[in-house]
Structure 1
Amino acid sequence: MIEELIRPEIRSFTPYNANQQPYKIKLDANESPFNLPLTVREKLSEFIKNDPQLNLYPDTDSIQLRKTISEHWDVDSEGIIVGTGSDQLIQVMTNVFIGVGDKILYPVPSFSMYRDSCLIAGGTPVKYLLNPEDGYEYSKETILEAYEKEQPKIIYICNPNNPTGNIMSVSDVIDVVKYCRKSIVVVDEAYGEFCDNTVIPYVKEYENLLVLRTFSKAYGLAGIRCGYSISCKKLASAVNLARPPYNISSLSQYIAQLILSDKEEINKNIEYLIEQREWMIGKLSNIKGVEVYKSYANFILVKVDNCNDVYNRLCEKGIFVRNFGLAPLLTGCLRISIGTNEQNSIFLDELSTICYNK
């Protein structure tokens, strides 16, 4: 009986299932391998010892955190909204702008929340393809043609794209923003710290541009669930209409503020992961049966012969990567998060052994 009450368009959903089994090396969720800097932990300890007033609700508008973010990016704090991860902001924004029959335009393959949030809101998701034959590269012309045909309310560009790792140039993104005046162009820069490619400075100029960022990846704060959007004040005010009250805990707000005030170690960690990414790309390219895609994020997408067997044998060794199996346009692909050099080396040794001993 319960199944019959579920909305038809949601019945086929598969809840997100993170691998929670014991592991030796975890390279499957694009998390940072680095813990909070010691200085940040010490300040957090003092904050808790001096009574963080957790008996009271948190600042529902995250005023101090938004001020810190605005100073970091040199933007107006009134154009910033903080969410429980950038995925909450995707759902909130969809709830504001998308109703029955309204369309969004989103890339495939990419982050599933674009499509799912649209379906939950009763809208119609329309995909544009990133073809593996072209290295999953974005095509500005493809997006503009789809815009003319579909007239979507929201257009998503994931930049760098997850799980393929490629980017769309700033100039091409802005061309889309300028041309698609009747749509909100959402540029998801969750992995933006790993490449020199952001459109944040342009939010002052274009009222239909919104950029998503997160503390979960480069800042190593996946556990506090905190992300944010940057746009003009008018667009932020609209998105804020559906934001839940008290959506960010006091501790999450404080930790995010601390990490932005102690960027030196974070920047070193980012540089380290970029160096490891390029080293990994070179090593993976030398393994027979492995095709490597260029990445500008903290992960690498590879196409592997006998993908499912390779994945299962890695799991037997306690090494977790993300298997896309038979996913559309990702057949035979694994996504490998960048870890420490020790973790990466162990993974490469095991992968080489598996591939050469088939």
Structure 2
Amino acid sequence: MIEELIRTEIRSFIPYNANQQPYKIKLDANESPFNLPSAARKKLAEYVLEDPRLNMYPDTDSIQLREALGSYWNVDKENIIVGTGSDQLIQIIANVFVEKGDKVLYPAPSFGMYKDSCIVAGGKAVDYILDQSNNFSYCADKIIQAYEREKPKIIYICSPNNPTGNLMPQDEIIKVVKACTKSIVVVDEAYADFSDTTVTPYIKEYENLLILRTFSKAFGLAGIRCGYSIASEKLTRAVNLARPPYNISSLSQYAAALVLSNIDEIKTNIKYLVEERERVSLKLAEIDGIKVYASAANFILVKIQNSKDVYTKLCERGIFIRAFGSSPLLSDCMRITIGTHEQNSVLLDELCTICYNK
């Protein structure tokens, strides 16, 4: 009986199921291998010991964190909304703008929340396929053609894209923003810290542009679930209409602001991971049977012969990476998060052993 009460369009949804088995090396979720900087951990401990007033609701507007972010990005706090991860903001955006039957354009392959949030809001999700023959590249003209044909409320661009790792050039993104004036253009920059790119300065010029950022990747705070959007004040006020009250805990707000004050250590960690990404990419390319896609993120997408067998053998060794199974656009593909030098070296050694002893 319960199944009959579920909305028809979401009956086929599969709840997200993270691999929770014991592991030796975990490189499957694009997390940072680096913890909160030690100075920030000490201040967080002091904050908890003094009196975080956890018996009281948190600041529903996250004012101190938004002010810190505004200073970091050289924008006003009124340009920023904080969410429980950028996932929550994606759903909020859909709740605000998508009515029954409205369309949302999203890249494929990419982050599944773009499609799912649209469906949950009652809309129709329409994908535009990235060019697999050219490192899954974006094409502004293709997106604009889809915009003119489909007339979507929202257009998603993920740059660097997850799980393919490729960037959409800044001028190409702005070309879409300028041409698609009757749509909200959401640029998901969750991994942009690893390529030192952003279109954030353009929010002052284009009121239909919204950028998503997160503390979960480069800042090493996946555990606090904190993301944010940057947009014009007019667009920010609109998105804020559907933001739940008290959506960010006091501890998360404090920890996120702390890490911004330790930005030099974060930048050092980013440089380390970028250098490791390049080293691992070169080493992977030397292994027979592995195709390596260029990446501007903290992960690498690879195509491996007999990928199911390789994935199983890695799991048996306690090494987790992300497999995409028989997904049509990602057949035999796996995504490898960049970890520490030691973790990456173990993975490379095991892959060599597995691939040469099939």
| Aligned-partner Cα distance in 2 for 1:314–1:296 | 25
Match of 2:307 in 1: 307
| Aligned-partner Cα distance in 2 for 1:310–1:73 | 43
Q: Secondary structure at the match of 1:82?
A: strand
Q: Secondary structure at the match of 1:104?
A: strand
What TM-score do you get using the length of structure 1 for normalisation? 1.00
Contact 1:44 1:255 in 2 (8 A): yes
| Aligned-partner Cα distance in 1 for 2:203–2:109 | 26
- Using the TM superposition, give the Cα deviation of residue 134 of structure 1 relative to its aligned residue in structure 2, in angstroms: 1.9
Match of 2:215 in 1: 215
Match of 2:88 in 1: 88
Match of 1:34 in 2: 34
- Using the TM superposition, give the Cα deviation of residue 327 of structure 1 relative to its aligned residue in structure 2, in angstroms: 1.1
Match of 2:243 in 1: 243
Matched AA of 2:4: E
CA deviation profile, 1:275-311 (whole Å, cap 9, x unmatched): 0000001000000000000000000000000000000
Match of 1:159 in 2: 159
1:346 aligns with 2:346: yes
Match of 1:72 in 2: 72
| Aligned-partner Cα distance in 1 for 2:184–2:48 | 41
Contact 1:169 1:197 in 2 (8 A): no
| Aligned-partner Cα distance in 1 for 2:234–2:140 | 26
Matched AA of 2:70: S
Q: Secondary structure at the match of 1:211?
A: strand
- Using the TM superposition, give the Cα deviation of residue 131 of structure 1 relative to its aligned residue in structure 2, in angstroms: 2.7
Matched AA of 1:317: R
| Aligned-partner Cα distance in 1 for 2:204–2:304 | 43
Match of 1:203 in 2: 203
Contact 1:27 1:339 in 2 (8 A): yes
| Aligned-partner Cα distance in 1 for 2:243–2:33 | 31
| Aligned-partner Cα distance in 2 for 1:208–1:22 | 45
| Aligned-partner Cα distance in 2 for 1:196–1:227 | 18
| Aligned-partner Cα distance in 1 for 2:270–2:82 | 23
Give 1:122-133 correspondences, 5 Å limit. Answer: 122-133=122-133
1:44 aligns with 2:44: yes
Contact 1:130 1:137 in 2 (8 A): yes
| Aligned-partner Cα distance in 1 for 2:99–2:271 | 42
Matched AA of 2:179: Y
- Corresponding residue pairs, total: 358
CA deviation profile, 1:29-76 (whole Å, cap 9, x unmatched): 000001111100110111111101001000000000000000000011
| Aligned-partner Cα distance in 2 for 1:128–1:3 | 32
RMSD across aligned positions (CA)? 0.5
- Using the TM superposition, give the Cα deviation of residue 132 of structure 1 relative to its aligned residue in structure 2, in angstroms: 1.5
Q: Secondary structure at the match of 2:330?
A: coil
- Using the TM superposition, give the Cα deviation of residue 328 of structure 1 relative to its aligned residue in structure 2, in angstroms: 2.4
Match of 1:171 in 2: 171
Give 1:77-116 correspondences, 5 Å limit. Answer: 77-116=77-116
Percentage of pairs with the same residue: 67
Q: Secondary structure at the match of 1:242?
A: coil
Matched AA of 2:345: S
| Aligned-partner Cα distance in 1 for 2:86–2:327 | 23
Q: Secondary structure at the match of 2:241?
A: helix
Match of 2:280 in 1: 280
Matched AA of 2:173: V
CA deviation profile, 1:125-165 (whole Å, cap 9, x unmatched): 01000131121000111101000000001000000000000
CA deviation profile, 1:74-108 (whole Å, cap 9, x unmatched): 01110100000001000001000001110000000
Alignment gaps of 5+ in structure 2? none
| Aligned-partner Cα distance in 2 for 1:278–1:197 | 18
| Aligned-partner Cα distance in 1 for 2:107–2:146 | 11
